[in-house]
Every structure is written in C-alpha cells, then in structure tokens.
C-alpha cells in the first residue's frame, strides 16, 4: 500500500435479502470445498493462523460463552490485549473465510501500539472474506484498524461489523486500509480516530474499491473524516450511502472526507460538523477527484469552505445535488442546490440527465412499498429522494 496506506510515507442486495442468501449458504457447510476446515469455536478460529492459505467455513455463532473465548478473545486474554489478529502485514491471510452469515460476537482487542488490527490483521491479494457478521466488537489499534480487517488487498464481501473501533490512522468500521475490494457490506460501528477515519473504510488507495455498501455509525476524528470512507486516495466509491453523523476538524464529508478518486451513484444523509473543508457528501474533492450522480441531504456546519454537497472542489463535480433546506446550506463548491420538493421530483434527475448525457441518472419512479431492480435508483414521487433499488422499500 502507498501514500497514507503506508505507515511511513454497488450494487447487490443487502439487508433482508443479503441475510437470506447468506443463511441459505450456511446450510451447505463445507460441501463446495472438500478441503474446507470447519470453525466451531474460538480455538478453531485461532488455529487459522497456522494455515493462512486454507479454506474455512464458520459453522455456528461464536460469542462470549463459546469455548475458547476467555483465553483468546476476552479482555483478559493475552495479558489484556484480547484477540490476536489473524495474519500480519508481512504474512497476510491468503485463503478463503466464509462466515455463512453466522455471528462473531464480543471480540475484544486492545493493541493501541500495533498496526494492522482487526479480526484479521491483513488479507492478501487473492484472499477472500465473505458473509461474516462481527457484532459487539471492541477494537483498538494504531494504524490500519478495522472491525473485520486491518489491511485489505483481497476481497471483503457481504459482511457486517458493529461495536466500537478506535485508532490513530486509517481507521474504519469494517476495514482499516483498503487496496482491494469491499462490496455488498455495511457497518454500524462507532468509529473514532485521528486521520483517515471512515464509517466503513478508513482509507483506500488507487487499487481500492467500495461498492454496493453502506454505513450507519457515527464517525469522529480530526482530518479526512467521512461517513463511509475517510480518505479515498485514487480508488472507487460507487453505489454506496451513509447515514451516521460525522464530526471532525478538516476535510470532513458525509460520505468521503478527502476524495482523490471517483465517487458515483452515492448519497449521504447524516449530519456533518467540522471547521475547514466540510461538505454534505465530500469535504475536499482533489484535482484528481470526481463526483457524479450523487447527492447529500444532511445538516452541514463548518467555519470555512463549507458546502451542502462539497466543501472545496479542485476536480470535477457533475450531475449532483444537495438539499438546501435540510442541509442549512445555500452554497457548495460544486453541485446544484434543490429544495426538498425538488429532491422528490424525478424531473430534477431526468432533466439533469439531458444536461449530462455522458452520465445519465439511471432512475425510475415506483409506487410506495415497491422497487424496480432494473434501475440503479428508484423514487416514490413527491415522497422520497432517490434510493437504491436494492434497499428495502419504505
């Protein structure tokens, strides 16, 4: 990983449908892989580190009353440091771990002076973590800290995290530093750090992508703080949303704090509070950054360079909007301000499509309680702004 990913230097079904799919997967056990190893307690989980290239399937929930918890994952384990993350930056996990939608609960990690901290310390390119639900985690580290994965070069799919995640740099509710793929995943974790802090992912470089995912937890930090991603350093964020409150000093955004990559077909509704470069969707959009087909509606409070959609823009912002009434902002360095009524009018988005023919909004109107999966975006006219067709209808 490079730049701030170095220590020294979307769309798929989620929610109810994702859970149903994962639960069905949980009935097959290891059948698809004859060499698969079954994980039934904390001892089994701990033994993964002895063979980081293997194929593993979680066969049941792991929690505080499961065998091995006190010795391996509690607040008294490992001299009070709790769970020892699987793998290292130099020896990452390169196999497959399928959680089969079972829960891993009550994990405690207190390693404030260590980097690459999470259930898994690091996942190599080619490694796969999928269908894992981390609940009620208490995770503390230094750099590259996540509820599920500290450093990711591989793929994290269909996974969830909840609890609290705390660190210094590259701190995310699910993944700390991302140079791989994060998809169809979400986090409700409360996340706190100093730099590059995000509700789902702390920071990601040009190889990183976050798609079809969302975050709901509150995020607090100092610099490059985002509801979904803290620092997007050349990567891709597409088909994502965030709803949690975001508080920081500089480069603070409802979705992304510091954007040097691509943000498209995404939105944010959480409140955003900061000092400099504060935006409802993106705090600062770098000269290499692009924002397209996206919107924000959360309250924005900032001292300098504050905007309803983008606080400061040096790159490209197209076909995107913010709600002037709910945000309390009449200005933005990019995007178009709209009233609540206009944000619930499909013409706002279809008219924009005619203006930006190279990047049309893929949107259609639906009846209340219905969705149309043939389109990225759905709207209930005069009732809702655009929402994803994979979201449960409201």
User: What band does 351 get if pLDDT is binned at 50, 70 and 90?
Assistant: confident
Distance CA 176, CA 380 (A): 36
Beta bridge partners of residue 296, listed in sequence order: 268, 322
DSSP state of 4: G
Report pLDDT for 360: 83
Note the pLDDT tens digit of each residue in 239-281. Answer: 999 999 999 999 999 999 999 999 999 999 999 999 999 999 9
In the predicted model, what is the mean pLDDT of the chain?
Answer: 91
Query: What does residue 209 show for φ and ψ, rounded to 5 degrees?
Result: -140, 145
End-to-end CA distance of the chain: 40
Distance CA 179, CA 188 (A): 22
Q: Mean per-residue pLDDT for 12-29?
A: 39
Report pLDDT for 394: 55
Residue scoring higher pLDDT (15 or 229): 229
Report pLDDT for 34: 59
Other C-beta atoms closer than 10 Å to the C-beta of 149 total 39
Report pLDDT for 341: 98
Distance CA 278, CA 222 (A): 12
Q: Mean per-residue pLDDT for 301-307?
A: 97
Parallel, antiparallel, or unpaired for β 363-365 and 304-307?
A: unpaired
Which residue, among 322, 287, 289, 290, has the nearest Cα to 306 in the 3D structure? 322
Q: What percent of the chain has pLDDT over 70?
A: 89
Q: Are 103 and 71 in contact (CB under 8 A)?
A: no
- pLDDT of 362 strictly over 80: yes
Distance CA 137, CA 108 (A): 6
Q: Are 86 and 114 in contact (CB under 8 A)?
A: no
The Cα-based distances of 378 to 107, 197, 321, 336, 345 in angstroms read 38, 30, 16, 20, 12
Note the pLDDT tens digit of each residue in 207-222. Answer: 999 999 999 999 999 9
Other C-beta atoms closer than 10 Å to the C-beta of 227 total 37
- pLDDT of 27 strictly over 70: no
**What are the helix (H) ranges across 157-199?**
none
What count of Cα atoms within 13 Å lies in the side-chain half-sphere of residue 269? Answer: 12
**What are the helix (H) ranges across the chain?**
15-25, 42-47, 69-72, 324-327, 340-343, 346-355
Report pLDDT for 96: 98
The pair of three-digit structure tokens given for residue 371, joined into one six-digit string = 């969705």
Domains of the chain: 3-355 (2.160.20.110), 356-394 (no CATH)
Report pLDDT for 323: 98
Distance CA 189, CA 177 (A): 16
- pLDDT of 381 strictly over 80: yes
Other C-beta atoms closer than 10 Å to the C-beta of 8 total 4
- pLDDT of 356 strictly over 80: no
Report pLDDT for 11: 33
**How much is the pTM?**
0.92
Helices H / strands E in the chain, number of each? 6, 45
User: What band does 12 get if pLDDT is binned at 50, 70 and 90?
Assistant: very low
Query: What does residue 324 show for φ and ψ, rounded to 5 degrees?
Result: -70, -25
Q: Mean per-residue pLDDT for 182-186?
A: 98
The pair of three-digit structure tokens given for residue 63, joined into one six-digit string = 């929690």
The pair of three-digit structure tokens given for residue 142, joined into one six-digit string = 């230094």
Q: Are 345 and 316 in contact (CB under 8 A)?
A: no
Q: Mean per-residue pLDDT for 277-300?
A: 97
Q: Mean per-residue pLDDT for 346-351?
A: 91
- pLDDT of 327 strictly over 90: yes
Distance CA 326, CA 267 (A): 14
**Longest CA pairwise span in the chain (Å):** 62
User: What band does 5 get if pLDDT is binned at 50, 70 and 90?
Assistant: very low
Report pLDDT for 32: 54
Q: Mean per-residue pLDDT for 159-174?
A: 98
- pLDDT of 238 strictly over 90: yes
- In a 10 Å sphere around its CB, with 0-12 CB exposed, 13-18 middle and 19+ buried, how is residue 116 labelled? buried
Query: What does residue 306 show for φ and ψ, rounded to 5 degrees?
Result: -115, 135
Distance CA 89, CA 331 (A): 43
- pLDDT of 91 strictly over 90: yes
Q: Are 267 and 237 in contact (CB under 8 A)?
A: no
The pair of three-digit structure tokens given for residue 164, joined into one six-digit string = 């609290």
DSSP-based three-state secondary structure for 17: helix
């Amino acid at each position: 990983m490079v730049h701030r990913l170095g220590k020294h230097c979307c769309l798929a079904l989620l929610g109810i449908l994702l859970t149903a799919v994962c639960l069905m997967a949980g009935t097959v056990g290891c059948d698809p892989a004859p060499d698969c190893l079954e994980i039934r307690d904390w001892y089994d989980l701990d033994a993964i580190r002895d063979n980081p290239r293997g194929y593993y399937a979680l066969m049941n929930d792991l929690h505080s009353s499961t065998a091995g918890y006190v010795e391996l994952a509690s607040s008294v384990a490992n001299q009070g440091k709790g769970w020892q993350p699987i793998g290292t930056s130099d020896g990452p996990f390169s196999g497959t771990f399928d959680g089969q939608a079972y829960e891993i609960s009550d994990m405690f990690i207190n390693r404030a002076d260590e980097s690459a901290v999470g259930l898994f310390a690091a996942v190599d390119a080619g490694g796969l973590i999928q269908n894992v639900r981390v609940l009620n985690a208490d995770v503390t580290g230094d750099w590259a800290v996540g509820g599920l994965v500290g450093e990711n070069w591989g793929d994290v799919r269909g996974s969830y995290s909840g609890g609290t995640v705390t660190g210094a740099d590259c701190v995310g509710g699910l993944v700390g530093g991302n140079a791989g793929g994060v998809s169809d995943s979400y986090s409700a974790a409360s996340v706190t750090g100093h730099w590059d802090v995000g509700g789902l992912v702390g920071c990601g470089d040009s190889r990183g992508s976050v798609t079809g995912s969302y975050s709901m937890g509150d995020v607090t930090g100092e610099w490059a703080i985002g509801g979904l991603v803290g620092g997007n350093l050349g990567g891709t964020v597409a088909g994502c949303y965030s709803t949690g409150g975001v508080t920081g000093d500089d480069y603070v955004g409802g979705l992304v704090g510091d954007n040097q990559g691509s943000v498209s077909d995404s939105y944010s509704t959480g409140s955003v509070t900061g000092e400099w470069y504060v935006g409802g969707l993106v705090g600062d959009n770098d000269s290499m950054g692009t924002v397209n087909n996206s919107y924000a509606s959360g309250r924005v409070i900032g001292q300098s360079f504050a905007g309803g959609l983008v606080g400061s823009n040096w790159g490209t912002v197209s076909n995107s909007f913010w709600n002037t009434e709910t945000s309390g902002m009449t200005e933005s360095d990019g995007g178009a301000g709209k009233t609540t009524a206009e944000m619930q009018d499909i013409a706002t988005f279809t008219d924009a499509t005619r203006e930006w023919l190279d990047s049309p909004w893929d949107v259609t109107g639906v009846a209340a309680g219905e969705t149309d999966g043939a389109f990225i975006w759905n709207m209930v006219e005069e009732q809702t702004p655009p929402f994803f067709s994979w979201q449960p209808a409201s």
